[in-house]
Structure 1
Amino acid sequence: MLEPDLDADTRSAIDALRRDGFGFVHAQTMRGLLEHCGTLQDWDAFAGSWNALGPDPYLAQTGRRRLRRHGVYRAGAQGIIERAEHQPHYQSSDYNRLQGDIERWFEPILPEVGNGATMGTVLRCCHGLFTRLAPAVDSWRIEVHQFRIEARADEPGEPTPEGVHRDGVDYVLVLMVERRNIASGTTTIHSPDGTLLGSFTLATALDAALVDDARVHHGVTPVAPLDPALPAWRDVLVVTFRAGG
């Protein structure tokens, strides 16, 4: 669980999530929140693992590009988080109009990444936070996604090709890992009727978005290269928690 002596900025982010259904956490604050729960000692190797993601074959069928890896974890009543067997990612078409109602198999998160110090810290932090928000829940299904969205001069990258959406879970963390030579990529938060509630840009490693998925919808604007002659990408870790699983 989270430590009781949270700093004012972190308390503010938690209160915003409770009050508004979403919150933006600056990198410095997020680092402190994470370090309450463990170490980031292997961060460089963790971030470097985005260079070894596999293609998203389902998105490629629509002429779009995205690289990713995926993993599933479970957290029980005692708060012990364990990685589950490799399995598909599934969303109904109610939540994903582009790729819903199919089992999607992606390359698994590498063992050294999925079992590493940083991943463990992130998952414990999320568990402490989301259990604090939903104390009656004693078990969670956790899905973890590594995403790289590439952008080219003639082909902007689409972080959320399904558009403004819900993920069909309870809570979501989006953690910035790296932005390389890109513009835009602004996160937008909407009410169920489409009204814009807020927007912000994850610009620095460890900037984070927290989302109460049952209450609000979210999306991210396309990214374009600042210098069209150089590689451009947006790397994020997305962690979702669903009660019971």
Structure 2
Amino acid sequence: MLDLALQEDHFAFVGAGVMRALLERYRPLEDWQGFADSWNDLAADPYLARVGLHRRRRHAVFAAGAQGPIRRQPHQPHYQSRDYNNLQGGIAREFQPIEDRIAEGATLRTVLEFSRDLFAGLSPQTSQWRIEVHQFRIEARADAAGQPTPEGVHRDGVDYVLVLLIDRHNISSGTTSFHLADGTEIGSFTLTRPLDAALAADRHVYHGVTAVAPLDPDRPAWRDVLVVTFVAAPQA
């Protein structure tokens, strides 16, 4: 059903219970708590800070075939062209790497294997994938809403995207919406529970997330997500 939704609608929402069951077909998420706690040790995003917004993140790159092992690649910058990111495109952005214990842990490895198998089934012609993994914490403050997608409604310039909610603390809103190229909205939902997920065939739809604001302005507020992107790797 999930592959059919991505083929026909080009996006899908998967609730936490279903998502956990799909992932645990591979292995138990035995390190989930440590995985989720690692969002408390993300580095500030210096690029977004220059425009007055608050976000923390870590980043890693992996490579995979249609089957077989998924291998972490040497740490490298994250790059998007201005065609896909009109706010911060055109520059190679250096972020702190995802910690080894997280990159090699059961939860992330399971998410990557599940995603690869799903997306490979949708693109049987793809023999090699480039995978980028981002840990994001969007911080909301009394004087500044948090912006999960500061570039607005956009595409990422990849083939497929998985967004997995890790935590949301003391925030309102954060609604994900999907759009056609002409701006027509074709669906929306809010990730509210850990393991709620949004998936998209990025070449076909645009997406955005509304700003988040603190429910209690005197307490810290954040939205933690894991974003995983897959794009067909160039053939050697």
**Interval containing the TM-score (normalised by the shorter chain):** over 0.9
- Structure 2 partner of 1:172: 161
Deviation of 1:79 after TM superposition, in Å, equals 2.9
**Large movers: runs of 4+ above 4 Å:** none
**In the alignment, residue 231 of structure 2 is paired with which amino acid?**
R
Could you say what the CA RMSD is over the residues aligned between the two structures, in angstroms? Answer: 0.9
Does the Cα contact within 8 Å between 1:187 and 1:218 map onto a contact in 2? yes
Partner in structure 2 of residue 41 of structure 1: 30
Deviation string for 1:24-75 (max 9, x for gaps)?
Answer: 0000010111111222100000000000000111111111110000000000
Letter in 2 for 1:49: S
Q: Distance in 2 between matches of 1:39 and 1:91?
A: 34
Against the structure 1 CA distance between its residues 161 and 227, is the aligned structure 2 distance closer, same or farther, given a 3 Å change threshold? same
Q: Secondary structure at the match of 2:62?
A: strand
* Equivalent pair of 2:66/2:117 in contact (CA under 8 Å): no
Q: Secondary structure at the match of 2:35?
A: helix
CA–CA separation in structure 1 for the residues paired with 2:17 and 2:6? 18
Task: Find the aligned partners of 1:32 and 1:15 in 2 and give their Cα distance.
Answer: 18
Q: Match of 1:3?
A: none
Aligned to 2:173: 184
Aligned counterpart for 1:108 among listed residues 82, 97, 101: 97
Identity value in percent:
62
Aligned residues: 234
Choose which of 139, 142, 156 in structure 2 pairs with 1:153: 142
Q: TM-score, normalised to structure 1's length?
A: 0.94
2:19 to 30, 36, 40: 30
2:187 is aligned with 1:193: no
**1:141 pairs with one of 130, 133, 144:** 130
Partner of 1:232: 221
Question: What displacement does 1:14 show?
Answer: 2.5
The TM-score, its normalising length taken from structure 2, stands at 0.97
Which letter maps to 2:124? P
Deviation, structure 1 residue 77: 4.5
Cα displacement (A) at 1:211? 0.5
2:192 is aligned to: 203
What are the Cα deviations for residues 176-202 of structure 1, in whole angstroms up to 9, with x where unaligned?
A: 000101000000100011110110000
How is 1:86-105 mapped onto 2 (pairs within 5 angstroms)? 86-105=75-94
CA contact (8 A) 2:66 2:120 kept: no
